[in-house]
């Protein structure tokens, strides 16, 4: 892909555990802020692709509720449901088609108004086989983590560094609402949620929104001094049933392969300067770094322990604090992309990775990491 699509700018909310404004108000103020920053009017926006979830919003056809608030009244628009990174892919395809010069990509989730993750992800299971046994996201991940620790002869302590790193990173992110300094003892003292996962391993949910303006290369250069180019796009889904898959080798390597091929990346660890990964649990950050090809299978804990994924390391992962800092479920994928755009624009302030030229944003939803998305951005 010849850098035909660029991010002009991105805006996020100050995420929180319970934002006061309603969904329409948050969507409106986020998009307004983005348009003000770029210095254009909504009449100049070609089309809008949003991402939300009916179950997580408690409103069916969830995009109908905020469509006009997102600046799309009397415009063309669509929705890529459940994971906002997929909305980003769709927005990019609308530009690549030649039909539009600018695309607004938006996403919002107010988890404070929704039931708990495990209630909703339990409702995502099929009604015949998986639902009767009580499967949900946490239990699926615990099964996956058990298999991982068993296959590579590791123990729970090997996973403990992730919340410590990410909550420390979140201290540098003004949009994060969970942050702090943890010790290894703090992590190991956390009560078990679903063995081997402890409560502290599973990031709580948040309220938050994100909006990104995409444009053709030419238009982006007119609108910003620092366009960030879309170099690679990849997404991929696994089989429905956990038992039909190798839980430690799913669809992520395939999504990464697609994106890396487009971006001409052969050695991800060398070729990528910064990554934002959906750390759905402590364990998952480690598994996802392996499946993204940053290291060999089973070596993700070494990557963490050697400080390679820490700030100052060769490939910092989640300078924003990741989902440990804020986890507005459906919006989190777009936020990962916005964070990488920020890094590549050199606007990361206290969380800036020096000289970041190319970055990767990852997102995932579905039990055991069923549908993964990879976006490679560069300047």
**Which residues of the shown chain bind another protein in the complex (CB under 8 A)?**
4, 24, 53-55, 58-61, 63-69, 72-82, 86, 89-90, 92-94, 96-99, 120-121, 123-128, 233-241, 244, 251, 254-255, 258, 365-367, 370-371
Query: CB under 8 Å to 207, separation ≥6 — which residues?
Result: 13, 15, 16, 17, 18, 19, 26, 109, 110, 111, 112, 328
How far is residue 93's CA from residue 293's CA, in Å, rounded to a whole number?
26
How far is residue 330's CA from residue 343's CA, in Å, rounded to a whole number?
22
Which residue carries 């920053």 as its tokens? 37
**Closest distance to another protein from the beta carbon of 45 (Å):** 13
User: 226-236 b/e with 16+ CB inside 10 Å = b?
Assistant: bbbbbbbbbbb
**Closest distance to another protein from the beta carbon of 134 (Å):** 15
Nearer to another protein, 123 or 296 (CB): 123
**Closest distance to another protein from the beta carbon of 305 (Å):** 32
Helix axes 282-291, 137-151, angle to 10 degrees: 60
Which residue carries 């990528």 as its tokens? 272
Nearer to another protein, 119 or 183 (CB): 119
How far is residue 141's CA from residue 303's CA, in Å, rounded to a whole number?
21
Nearer to another protein, 261 or 350 (CB): 261
Nearer to another protein, 165 or 254 (CB): 254
Helix axes 161-170, 282-291, angle to 10 degrees: 100
**Closest distance to another protein from the beta carbon of 357 (Å):** 24
**Closest distance to another protein from the beta carbon of 89 (Å):** 7
**Closest distance to another protein from the beta carbon of 291 (Å):** 14
Query: CB under 8 Å to 128, separation ≥6 — which residues?
Result: none
Nearer to another protein, 8 or 69 (CB): 69
Nearer to another protein, 97 or 225 (CB): 97
**Sign of torsion over alpha carbons 9, 379, 324, 138:** positive
């Amino acid at each position: 892909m010849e850098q035909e699509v660029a991010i002009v700018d991105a805006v996020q909310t100050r995420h929180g555990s319970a934002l006061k404004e309603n969904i329409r108000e948050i969507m409106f103020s986020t998009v307004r802020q983005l348009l003000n920053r770029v210095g254009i009017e909504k009449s100049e926006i070609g089309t809008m692709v949003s991402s939300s979830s009916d179950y997580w919003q408690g409103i069916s056809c969830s995009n109908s509720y905020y469509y006009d608030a997102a600046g799309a009244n009397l415009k063309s628009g669509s929705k890529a449901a459940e994971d906002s990174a997929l909305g980003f892919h769709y927005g990019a395809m609308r530009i690549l088609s030649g039909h539009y010069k600018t695309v607004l990509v938006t996403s919002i989730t107010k988890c404070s108004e929704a039931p708990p993750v495990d209630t909703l992800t339990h409702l995502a299971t099929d009604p015949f086989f998986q639902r009767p046994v009580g499967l949900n996201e946490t239990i699926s991940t615990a099964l996956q983590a058990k298999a991982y620790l068993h296959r590579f002869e590791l123990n729970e302590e090997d996973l403990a560094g992730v919340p410590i790193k990410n909550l420390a990173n979140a201290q540098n992110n003004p949009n994060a609402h969970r942050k702090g300094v943890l010790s290894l003892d703090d992590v190991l003292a956390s009560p078990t949620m679903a063995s081997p996962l402890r409560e502290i391993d599973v990031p709580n949910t948040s309220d938050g929104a994100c909006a990104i303006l995409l444009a053709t290369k030419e238009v982006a250069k007119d609108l910003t001094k620092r366009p960030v180019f879309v170099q690679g796009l990849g997404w991929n889904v696994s089989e429905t049933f956990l038992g039909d898959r190798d839980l430690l080798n799913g669809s992520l390597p395939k999504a990464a392969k697609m994106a890396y091929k487009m971006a001409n990346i052969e050695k991800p660890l060398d070729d990528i300067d910064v990554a934002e990964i959906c750390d759905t649990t402590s364990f998952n950050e480690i598994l996802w770094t392996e499946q993204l090809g940053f290291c060999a299978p089973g070596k993700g804990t070494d990557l963490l322990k050697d400080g390679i994924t820490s700030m100052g390391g060769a490939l910092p992962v989640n300078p924003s604090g990741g989902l440990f800092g804020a986890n507005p479920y459906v919006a989190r994928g777009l936020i990962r992309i916005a964070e990488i755009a920020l890094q590549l624009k050199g606007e990361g302030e206290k969380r800036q990775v020096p000289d970041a030229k190319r970055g990767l944003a990852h997102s995932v939803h579905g039990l055991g990491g069923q549908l993964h998305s990879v976006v490679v951005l560069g300047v």
